[in-house]
Amino acid sequence: METLPEVPQQLEPLIRQIGPALYELGQGFREDMRVPARIVADSELLQQMVHDRSVPQLVNVTTLPGIQGFAIGMPDMHEGYGFPVGGVAGTALPDGVISPGGIGFDINCGVRLLATGLRHEDVKEVLPEVAHDLARSIPTGFGRHGRLSLAPEQMDRVLTEGVPYLVDVLGLGAPEDVDYLEARGCLDGADTAKVSVRARERGHDQLGTLGGGNHFLEVQRVERVLDSEVAPALGLFEGQLTVLIHTGSRGLGHQVCTDAVRTMDRALAREGIQLVDRQLACAPLSSAEGQDYFAAMCAAANFAWANRQVLTHRVREVFRRWFGDRSAAWPRIVYDVAHNIAKLEPHGGQRLCVHRKGATRAFGPGHPELPAAYHQVGQPVFIPGSMGTASFVLVGKEAAEAISLSSACHGAGRRLSRAASKRQVVGSELRAALNRQGIAVECPSNAELAEEAPLAYKDVDRVVDVVEAAGIARKVARLVPLAVLKG
């Protein structure tokens, strides 16, 4: 067992390594812990975590009523609202709690990978112009409005039916698209009556918008295939032109979370729940507050999948303009997976409400929710880097269920706050540096560019190595950026 150096004195005797790249902080650390806290990391990443607020936040998660097994932090873990970003926990049904802080304000923020049959070498001369066309076609930035305005009855159908409604009724996609989306792009538990008027107002014209912050659209090249057996099953090859989309439920999801936190905060005394952190506001899933939030969360999740579907449609329109109708130019969906969501799943013989906050599913081969094409290889997992760094495609392993409730990280994870990043980076200089690397940048704000600078994030190669070493997922391909679109 590895002894962790330079850990704060009160943690050092209690953190122990229990497996490859897997550490545990036992219940002896605090008497209110109901289960241990686990962390997927190597020693360097672990030291970063124990010196910020993410480990104490993870410990707080272990105190939630109904939590089972452990609370676990992914290698990209960093401070968040309530739960740390990169935190995962499962609570037992029916009376274990659901906590909006364990899902996040951007409900079903997620990542979708599109792959073409085009080779970068054949189209590289026009890519800067393609990137500019994408920027003109896709609204970015906080509060921006899309080009698809929905009537109230159409919004209801998006919230309840998700992507199938867009494809089958509005014609925004191909029938096979839904086969390659987590939950086929629709959670069944949605109830539009539980979505507030204010949430609807904030989201009614935001379908097909990217948003700001760390949301992005990247045109990428498959630099290297790392698993020659799995990559063909995913339709990936070296030199291939791909597109990675990262966004979520925009203002609608944010308002759903805000509404629920306020409602649950008022219900805590009635439910006899005492919290160590008010940001962990929660309610039993069986309660009226728990059921109402879950129904609204499902609706927001459906909105997010619909948002990424409209963005996919816009990408396809741009590619058609530049590369024609040939089949090789069609950006097909490799997969779409959420990383801010709660799902009802069986684990260890129990039915759990699994909170994934900045964490993605990582189901292994044979799982019944996988598309038939991926049944033998496992669920695709996407771990993006940051501007100028690589992104990775992996597939989940069966061992992930016992290790992490079938969960993996969702990115490299922040190392610096946005304010700290802006103090260290000049946006215009970063833009010029990326251009020198051959990366076209479409972002109207140098300040927001500086917030998302590569130095603000952990080393994505190290993070992905840890995920693989822990036995959660296996690496399939490494992708590098060619053009970046940000708010």
* Assigned domain for 95 exists: yes
State the Rg of the chain over Cα.
21
Q: Residue 385, annotated ligand binder? A: yes
Report the distance separating Cα 15 and Cα 116, nearest Å: 46
Note the pLDDT of residue 3: 37
* Assigned domain for 161 exists: yes
Q: Residue 216, annotated ligand binder? A: yes
Note the pLDDT of residue 456: 78
Report the distance separating Cα 103 and Cα 126, nearest Å: 40
CA distances from 222 to 311, 480, 482 (A): 21, 7, 10
**Tokens standing for residue 127:** 């890519």
Note the pLDDT of residue 434: 84
Q: Residue 153, annotated ligand binder? A: no
Note the pLDDT of residue 142: 64
Q: Residue 386, annotated ligand binder? A: yes
Instruction: Spell out the per-residue pLDDT of the chain, length 487, in tens.
Output: 333 333 455 665 688 999 999 999 999 899 999 999 999 999 999 988 888 889 999 999 999 999 999 999 999 999 999 999 999 999 999 999 999 999 999 999 999 999 999 999 999 999 999 999 999 999 886 655 667 878 899 999 999 999 999 999 999 999 999 999 999 999 999 999 999 999 999 998 899 999 887 899 999 999 999 999 999 999 999 999 999 999 999 999 999 999 999 999 999 999 999 999 999 999 999 999 999 999 999 999 999 999 999 999 999 999 999 999 999 999 999 999 999 999 999 999 999 999 999 999 999 999 999 999 999 999 999 999 888 899 999 999 999 999 999 999 999 888 777 788 888 888 888 888 888 888 888 887 888 788 878 787 889 999 999 999 999 999 999 999 999 998 7
Across the chain, mean pLDDT equals 92
Q: Residue 487, annotated ligand binder? A: no
* Assigned domain for 138 exists: yes
* Assigned domain for 117 exists: yes
Q: Residue 411, annotated ligand binder? A: yes
Q: Residue 161, annotated ligand binder? A: no
Report the distance separating Cα 311 and Cα 315, nearest Å: 6
Q: Which domain holds residue 344?
A: 12-415+457-486
Are 301 and 338 spatial neighbours (Cβ–Cβ below 8 Å)?
A: yes
Q: Among this protein's residues, is 410 annotated catalytic?
A: yes
CB neighbourhood size of 232 (10 A): 12
Are 126 and 276 spatial neighbours (Cβ–Cβ below 8 Å)?
A: no
pLDDT tens digit sequence for 190-212: 999 999 999 999 998 899 999 88
* Assigned domain for 265 exists: yes
Note the pLDDT of residue 12: 57
Are 213 and 487 spatial neighbours (Cβ–Cβ below 8 Å)?
A: yes
Q: Residue 239, annotated ligand binder? A: no
Cis omega (within 30 of 0) for bond into 139: no
* Assigned domain for 442 exists: no
Q: Taking each helix axis from N to C terminus, what angle separates 127-137 and 288-323, rounded to the nearest 10 degrees?
A: 140
Note the pLDDT of residue 141: 67
Q: Residue 304, annotated ligand binder? A: no
Q: Residue 413, annotated ligand binder? A: yes
Are 356 and 183 spatial neighbours (Cβ–Cβ below 8 Å)?
A: no
Note the pLDDT of residue 417: 79
Are 360 and 410 spatial neighbours (Cβ–Cβ below 8 Å)?
A: yes
Indicate which residue of 204, 313, 355, 410 is catalytic.
410
pLDDT tens digit sequence for 290-344: 999 999 999 999 999 999 999 999 999 999 999 999 999 999 999 999 999 999 9
Q: Residue 340, annotated ligand binder? A: yes
* Assigned domain for 436 exists: no
Q: Residue 214, annotated ligand binder? A: yes
CB neighbourhood size of 262 (10 A): 11
Residue labelled with tokens 């209801």? 156
* Assigned domain for 421 exists: no
Domain count, the chain: 1
Q: Residue 412, annotated ligand binder? A: yes
Enumerate long-range contacts of 3-12, CB under 8 Å, 24 or more apart. 4/43, 4/46, 4/47, 5/43, 5/47, 6/47, 7/46, 7/47, 7/50, 8/50, 8/51, 11/50, 11/55
Note the pLDDT of residue 401: 97
Provide the whole-model pTM. 0.94
Q: Using CB atoms within 10 Å of the CB of residue 228, give its burial: 0 to 12 exposed, 13 to 18 middle, 19+ buried.
A: exposed
pLDDT tens digit sequence for 41-55: 999 999 888 888 899
